[in-house]
């Protein structure tokens, strides 16, 4: 059984500062982390935001105020949920070790299922009866071995995985706010997840209605929470393959159930197998593959190292910005390559990225890549 890890002690003031910072304009998870390394606290980072954005040409920047943060916290509590910050003891361990994890999660339900090792399930919304039956078998047997089952509460494969793991622990990740269950047809399932010891989580603000562009963000959390991700019945161009790519990029094991080449719903899973995903037909395949990772224990807790913070003490000049911007284009480019190409100090480059993103001129991508907007 997993051992509980001590978390970072958070006061309510710190929690509100973290919430304000991540809800401020153009502050994403990666920039949030860089700001804490630079300024040590969210409170100090909030004070620095206008100046940082101004250096890159942004005159005004919307910064979440205290009243808005308090209102979101109150609405979250009234919904029976809570806010969990990165580094706290019930923040999902595997997710905390992922690339740019969400600093703040809204959580409804049990914290215990969030701290267990997890296996994610994704697949077709228009699943076949055979696909649903196999998903339930795999999820039930994997959950019985002590894993939390993670998915996105979509109809089809997602719902089947959640239903099969209700008694062993399952986590549903939302693309909208904690108060927006989507699709509505799975509202009863969402309540059953909480009632039977599972959890609902999201990084989105309370009241947020999910948009198409929010589902890849949800998929990133699904992939990041798990040691392995199982794909059952996925079309060649589906969100499930995006989840599989994100899982592979995060160093997770990608499993795929083979299917008939005559069924379009199996084209994506078969494609993954051809490109290196592990072929599985039963739960023992999953358990055997993940056993070495499980024995290694959970990931180390989130910290902000003083040496990381020291990198940011060298402030970039306007000429440094010119050099950096001239090396950028609209094609995502690896940040380490940009550092080597420009010859600029690491800390200067990271500060330039913060300033340009706050100004709305730069976009971050997976794999430590950036591009101009």
Residue 28 pLDDT greater than 70, yes or no: yes
pLDDT at 5: 40
Place of tokens 């072929």: 279
pTM assigned to the model: 0.88
- The whole-angstrom separation of Cα 123 and Cα 135 is 9
pLDDT at 299 over 50: no
Across the chain, mean pLDDT equals: 90
Per 3-state DSSP, the chain is made up of helix, strand and coil in percentages (nearest 5) of: 50, 15, 40
The pLDDT score that the predictor gives to residue 59 is 87
Between β-strands 199-202 and 104-109, what pairing exists: parallel, antiparallel or unpaired? antiparallel
Under a CB-based contact definition with an 8 Å cutoff, are residues 58 and 357 in contact? no
Region of poorest pLDDT, from 77-81, 86-90, 225-229, 266-270: 86-90
Answer whether residue 304 shows pLDDT above 70.
no
Q: What is the pLDDT of residues 281-295, one digit of tens each?
A: 999 999 999 998 876
Task: Express each pLDDT in 189-213 by its tens digit.
Answer: 999 999 999 999 999 999 999 999 8
User: Given this model, what pLDDT does residue 311 score?
Assistant: 53
Question: Among positive and negative, which fits the CA dihedral 212, 109, 85, 100?
Answer: negative
Provide the pLDDT for residue 6: 46
CA distance 77 to 56: 38
Question: What mean pLDDT is predicted for residues 174-201?
Answer: 96
């Amino acid at each position: 059984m997993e051992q509980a890890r001590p978390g970072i002690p958070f006061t309510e003031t710190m929690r509100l500062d973290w919430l304000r910072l991540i809800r401020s304009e153009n502050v994403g998870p990666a920039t949030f982390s860089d700001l804490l390394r630079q300024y040590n606290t969210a409170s100090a980072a909030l004070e620095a935001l206008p100046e940082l954005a101004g250096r890159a040409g942004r005159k005004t920047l919307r910064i979440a105020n205290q009243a808005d943060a308090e209102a979101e916290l109150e609405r979250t509590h009234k919904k029976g949920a809570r806010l969990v910050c990165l580094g706290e003891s019930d923040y999902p361990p595997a997710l905390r070790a992922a690339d740019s994890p969400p600093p703040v999660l809204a959580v409804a339900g049990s914290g215990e299922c969030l701290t267990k090792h997890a296996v994610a399930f994704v697949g077709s919304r228009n699943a076949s009866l055979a696909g649903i039956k196999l998903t339930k078998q795999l999820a039930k047997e994997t959950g019985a071995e002590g894993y939390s089952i993670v998915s996105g509460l979509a109809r089809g494969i997602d719902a089947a995985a959640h239903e099969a793991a209700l008694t062993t622990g399952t986590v549903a990740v939302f693309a909208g706010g904690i108060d927006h269950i989507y699709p509505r047809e799975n509202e009863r399932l969402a309540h059953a997840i909480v009632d039977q010891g599972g959890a609902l989580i999201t990084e989105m603000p309370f009241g947020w209605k999910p948009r198409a562009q929010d589902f890849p963000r949800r998929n990133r959390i699904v992939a990041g929470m798990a040691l392995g991700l199982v794909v059952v019945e996925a079309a060649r161009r589906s969100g499930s393959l995006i989840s599989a790519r994100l899982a592979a990029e995060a160093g997770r094991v990608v499993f795929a159930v083979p299917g008939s080449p005559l069924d379009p719903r199996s084209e994506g899973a078969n494609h993954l197998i051809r490109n290196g995903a592990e072929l599985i037909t039963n739960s023992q395949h999953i358990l055997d593959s993940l056993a070495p990772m499980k024995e290694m224990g959970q990931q180390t807790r989130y910290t902000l190292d003083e040496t990381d913070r020291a990198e940011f003490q060298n402030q970039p000049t306007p000429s440094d910005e010119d050099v950096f911007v001239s090396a950028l284009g609209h094609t995502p480019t690896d940040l380490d390559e940009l550092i080597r190409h420009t010859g600029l100090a690491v800390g200067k480059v990271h500060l330039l990225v913060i300033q340009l993103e706050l100004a709305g001129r730069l976009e971050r991508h997976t794999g430590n890549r950036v591009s101009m907007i």
